[in-house]
Structure 1
């Protein structure tokens, strides 16, 4: 009879443990989960626990960053790691979804994995990977998850692979432009977003990202034109207000009182749902009036 794998998904956050670990462990809990994808890791254990748990971190295309419980291990007084196999590993799967509150992990070194006799990767990982190594949809989704969790530095590589194959894939150009902006590579974001708008000229998010890149590249005239167009086509007043505030902030820094006044008025016009943005306008205005 074919065995059925029972999957238990746990929606929890692994918070930082306050107890110091024995130095003999040689475990370094200094890595964020999104920098440990496709790696075996250990989490800090509680003082009362005698073993560490081994997890494998991966990306589920539908659910995002996840980890699956593999085995446990203990460490003797000489610092030797001893595997304590999980007897249910082949019949059930304990899976946890990860988020920004997840604790720092210790990525197991090659030596530690050898001591624990761990395979290079778990066999089950294949089911989460596309057969095509350059699957544009998969790579775009991976980039989205990295961007969404504040790890845009990891998003660029998969997004660029997808971009080279199919640049106008739905959502791809926005994610790549966002990743470049988040990593302050504004000059790289600009051409990507400009080309995207030629194909999708009514996409308010593309205007917002392109305007942001131009503002931070101090291309004032170009940013103003992009934001004017973006505000004219956008149906979301919060996005309209955000674009206006970004433009006003640049003009404030440039001490351009005349154009600042124009964009401050636009921000206030659309600030009903985002009063927090208007506080910035009030501050900029007060500072300019002192000069």
Structure 2
């Protein structure tokens, strides 16, 4: 007879894998973002609030688009938008931990300078660019870049990581990066390994997924939706906390909703670690701790993967046997 703990674990697994439950959670997140959007300051004066607002609006709009893409069952495009949401979340955690919002805000002038230079070089006639915002703000751009250059010369310029992976590593989110951003980047860059995302099988063979056409019963991977649901909540929790808004609303939301994802076992969310450990023990009878994550044990460089291709075939065969044995026990 199952005890309460075993029933709870089975319930969580069913919830995690249920497509409609995850879509419903996504809509709940959208409602939460809509409510919070009514409380934001549209004319912030400090850099932190300006950046947080930009991050929030980008995620809010991306979430709105995400639901449309999921409804239309556009797998590849859903991954692209999901990747953007992950990037913003990791970037905000990096800036928050290091208190680098001001330096991140100043960096925009460096980016504007590059674009202004390109704008000028690309047009042989100056009159063609006089109404361009970059040209209009050229003096401010030059002034700010001179100050940045001065700080760099004096050794007082705060360096910012350009790599999302390095940001993730610094704030303890490397595993999250690996199983989301890095994985979904294949869709963003149209790598050939994602060909299956734009094709579906019919009785007469495979067809490409075209706009406005029925693509069979293909659905966006429920794991993608589940991860994004959790990240959406983590960001909005941080956002509201930093700006001291909607805390009561957030508490009610947290009380009435539970987002669980096994892939966020980085040690930063203890409840996820505990549940994941219980699941492993319940189904495989093995004591496994998720508090320490050895990412080298799971992820290898492209070079190592190429060197171990022969070993990969054997690993696949062994895994297939293990899965077959598990299915026979069910």
Q: Considering the TM-score relative to the shorter chain, is it more than 0.5?
A: no
More RCO (CA 8 Å, sep 6+): 2
More helix by percentage: 2
Shorter-chain TM band: under 0.3
Q: TM-score, normalised by structure 1?
A: 0.23
Q: Which has the higher strand share?
A: 1
